[in-house]
Amino acid sequence: MTFDWPVMLLGLVAVPLVVVWYRRLLRARAGRRAELAALGLVAREESARRRFLPPALLLGALVLLLIALGRPEVNVPLARREGTVILAVDTSASMAATDLTPTRMDAAKAAARAFVARQPPAVRVGVVAFSGSGLVTQEVTADRASVIAAIDRLRPDGATSLGRGLQTSLSAIVGKPVLVDAPGTTGGAPSVEQQGPDLGYHGSAAVVLFTDGENTDQPDPLDVAEIASSAGVKVYPVGLGRPEGTVLQIDGFSLATALDEPMLQEIATRTDGRYIAGADAQALAGISDVVDLQWTVEFRHIEVTALLAAAAAVLMLVGVGLSLAWFGRAV
């Protein structure tokens, strides 16, 4: 338990003073009872339970009220069903191609917005932009407006590294960096390093990959797909563009670009996901429920001032009520 106003707890020093005051009050009443007995007037002896129960209740109410003044907060475990989706959007220069109307990038952004609109509140969404490298442009959140704003900010530029896009998406899901070394950096096949003993299992998470599939940089996306599969993360590639391709003009140079469906299909196969050909609404409708929601426990910091004040009020009412019923006085 923590307190927003801990200085208010100094009021608890008044509790011993109240106890001392009440003990003096009891001694004064005992003295008066003895005087009445000397005059031949026998006062009714109060039972120990009746004598001490109301004051104890009132003292408990006082302690709770003084603690409530400090505005206490506690961590409360709350069970909820939730899932995570990372929208990994290819922002390489080839996404400016016009074989989709008006461009591949515009089609990807429209499809991503439509996908977000279909997700239930229990699904949290994050956005990753990737070209030659990957960047988390929106952390995983339940705030749909922030996700849409992150999608709207995406612009095409640079080369394409599907592996970096998947790597960054996986890091956003597991909450720690997943580092993949390119071939040659360790004298052999790609190696994987992560913080902690392993990535854990994240069966309630998925990556929706909006791309034309043309990979021009390391690491190998299929190697990263294997890592995602071992962590239980499914990848759903959405192919943007046409297999026959088109020619894109960039800074006076002509660049041929085409949809690489075999690569995207292999990524989907290795992660138990599904390849979606095209970004139209009908195609995306099949992946609107890609996340298997799972029960999780979330700890929330909750202020319990009102609860303590309510408990104090109940104790005070019971204590005063018993004292009035038994003795005809409040204290």
* Predicted confidence band of residue 186 (pLDDT cuts 50, 70, 90): very low
Q: Phi first, then psi: what are they for 246, rounded to 5°?
A: -155, 175
Crossing angle of the two packed helices 48-69 and 14-38, in degrees rounded to 10: 160
Q: Which pLDDT belongs to residue 19?
A: 84
Tally of CB atoms within 10 A around 327? 13
* Predicted confidence band of residue 41 (pLDDT cuts 50, 70, 90): low
* Predicted confidence band of residue 292 (pLDDT cuts 50, 70, 90): low
| SS3 (DSSP) at 195 | coil
pLDDT higher than threshold 90 for residue 158: no
Q: What is the mean pLDDT of the chain?
A: 80
Q: Which pLDDT belongs to residue 283?
A: 63
Amino acid at 295: W
**More confidently predicted of 155 and 290:** 155
Q: Which pLDDT belongs to residue 284?
A: 63
* Predicted confidence band of residue 82 (pLDDT cuts 50, 70, 90): confident
- Cα distances (angstroms) measured from residue 236 to each of 43, 222, 226, 240, 268: 86, 14, 14, 13, 6
Strand partners, 113: none
Q: Which pLDDT belongs to residue 290?
A: 65
| SS3 (DSSP) at 172 | helix
This prediction's pTM:
0.62
Of the spans 234-243, 280-289, 306-315, which averages the highest pLDDT? 306-315
Q: Which pLDDT belongs to residue 258?
A: 73
Of the spans 69-78, 133-142, 196-205, 250-259, which averages the highest pLDDT? 133-142
CA separation for the pair 96, 285 (Å, rounded): 25
pLDDT higher than threshold 50 for residue 184: no
Q: Phi first, then psi: what are they for 3, rounded to 5°?
A: -130, 135
pLDDT higher than threshold 60 for residue 224: yes
Instruction: Please say whether the beta carbons of 135 and 171 come within 8 A.
Output: no
Rounded to 5°, the CA angle 277-155-223 comes to 55
Rounded mean pLDDT of 90-100? 83
Rounded mean pLDDT of 159-177? 88
pLDDT higher than threshold 70 for residue 300: yes
Q: Check if CATH label 3.40.50.410 holds for domain 91-292.
A: yes
CA separation for the pair 206, 237 (Å, rounded): 11
List the chain domain ranges: 2-74+302-327, 91-292
* Predicted confidence band of residue 198 (pLDDT cuts 50, 70, 90): confident
Would you call 164 exposed, middle or buried from its count of C-beta atoms within 10 A (0-12, 13-18, 19+)?
A: buried
User: How far is it between the farthest Cα atoms of the chain?
Assistant: 119
Q: Phi first, then psi: what are they for 209, rounded to 5°?
A: -105, 110
pLDDT higher than threshold 60 for residue 227: yes
Whether the bond into 183 is cis, omega within 30 of 0: no
pLDDT digits (tens, 9 = 90+) for 112-122: 898 898 888 88
